[in-house]
Amino acid sequence: MASRFSSLSKSNTELLHKELRANYGSCSEIELDRLYHEFKSEHERLKVFLDLQRQDEDKRKDILNKLRVAQLEIKREERAAYSSMSTLQRLGSIFSTPKQLSVEHDDAKRKVSELHSQYMNLKNDRYSTEVAKRKKIYHVLKVLSELREEIKNKRVRSLANASIGKARSTSSSTKRKHISQTREVIACPYCECQFETVDMVLDHIYPIAKGGLDTRENTVLVCKQCNMRKSDKTLMVFCNQMRLDHSKVFDRLLKMGKGI
Ligand SMILES: [Zn+2]
């Protein structure tokens, strides 16, 4: 089976990377880490097939050499048989083919056909599927590393901004993602009071002013009072100040898929 990825041209590689970016671009940092390590171990596991494919290739070359030698041998035997035949004919013998040579000739022919089938067997690339899969995973890993690097850089920039007092306000896109949900009553994850979502605000769990990111994982809808009281404090400081059981708060946030 021909591999779809074994000989990717430059533009095909770009297309594949674009496709992969579309697939993984919206993943969170945690998800990217998890995917990266999963694919990495799969990539490692599939290495054995690449080695097996190489071994097959070596065996194939070896058999091909033997095949050539055996074919030469047949030709030589054929020539010998012909010359003895013509000798016998010249001597006027009416007894037909030289038996011994004919048997040897058949053996050599059998050997050639055996080698040939061994060669064909190895020619059918037994590991191409796995090797192609590994090749694709290589590109997945490349894109995942790029995405992880981009998130890391974003955090560094965010930290740099925070340190020079340029804390960004919540981007409207993140806010929209949360507010676009239907109007419903939910509990504030900090104080546990019930509020309508429209009356809640987006809080950065790890404060933007301290380098927190404006991501889905770092933002959560909370009641206005908690948001105001928490301000630029970290969650731990806020919990202590409000006498909230921080392990319960952490637990609630983790269950919502938030990072703390
Ligand atoms: Zn609250």
pLDDT digits (tens, 9 = 90+) for 77-94: 778 777 777 776 666 655
Residues 201/205/207/211 CA torsion (nearest 10 deg): -130
Distance from residue 124's CA to the centre of ligand 1 (Å): 66
User: What domain range includes position 212?
Assistant: 172-255
Q: List CB-based neighbours of ion ligand 1 within 5 Å.
A: 188, 190-191, 223, 226
Give the residue-averaged pLDDT of 4-29.
82
Q: What per-residue confidence (pLDDT) applies to 70?
A: 87
| Structural domain includes residue 216 | yes
Per DSSP, 187 falls in state E
Q: Residue written as tokens 């925070």?
A: 162
Give the C-alpha separation, 129 to 56, whole Å: 15
| Structural domain includes residue 46 | yes
| Structural domain includes residue 201 | yes
Q: Using 50, 70 and 90 to split pLDDT, how confident is the model at 97? A: low
Distance from residue 218's CA to the centre of ligand 1 (Å): 16
Q: Is a pLDDT exceeding 80 seen at residue 258?
A: yes
Q: What per-residue confidence (pLDDT) applies to 75?
A: 86
| Structural domain includes residue 140 | no
Residue 129 and residue 180 in one domain: no
Residue 87 and residue 180 in one domain: no
Last residue of a domain, one of 114, 135, 156: 135
Residue 186 and residue 110 in one domain: no
| Structural domain includes residue 50 | yes
Q: How many domains does the chain have?
A: 2
Last residue of a domain, one of 110, 135, 160: 135
Residue 127 and residue 222 in one domain: no
| Structural domain includes residue 110 | yes
Last residue of a domain, one of 80, 109, 135: 135
Q: What percent of the chain has pLDDT over 90?
A: 42
Q: Is the model more confident about 212 or about 141?
A: 141
- CA geometry: angle 137, 142, 147, nearest 5 deg: 120
Q: For strand 219-223 and strand 200-204, is the pairing parallel, antiparallel, or unpaired?
A: antiparallel
Residue 14 and residue 131 in one domain: yes
Q: For strand 194-196 and strand 185-187, is the pairing parallel, antiparallel, or unpaired?
A: antiparallel
Q: Is a pLDDT exceeding 80 seen at residue 34?
A: yes
Distance from residue 161's CA to the centre of ligand 1 (Å): 28
Q: Using 50, 70 and 90 to split pLDDT, how confident is the model at 167? A: very low
Whole-angstrom Cα Rg for the chain: 36
Residue 24 and residue 126 in one domain: yes
Q: Using 50, 70 and 90 to split pLDDT, how confident is the model at 180? A: very low
* Residue count (the chain): 260
| Structural domain includes residue 230 | yes
Distance from residue 195's CA to the centre of ligand 1 (Å): 9
Residue 84 and residue 191 in one domain: no
Distance from residue 228's CA to the centre of ligand 1 (Å): 10
Residue 130 and residue 205 in one domain: no
Residue 49 and residue 117 in one domain: yes
The full DSSP string for 207-220 is -GGGT---STTTEE
Distance from residue 189's CA to the centre of ligand 1 (Å): 7
Q: Using 50, 70 and 90 to split pLDDT, how confident is the model at 230? A: very high
| Structural domain includes residue 143 | no
Lowest mean per-residue pLDDT among 27-41, 158-172, 245-259: 158-172
Lowest mean per-residue pLDDT among 4-8, 47-51, 199-203: 4-8
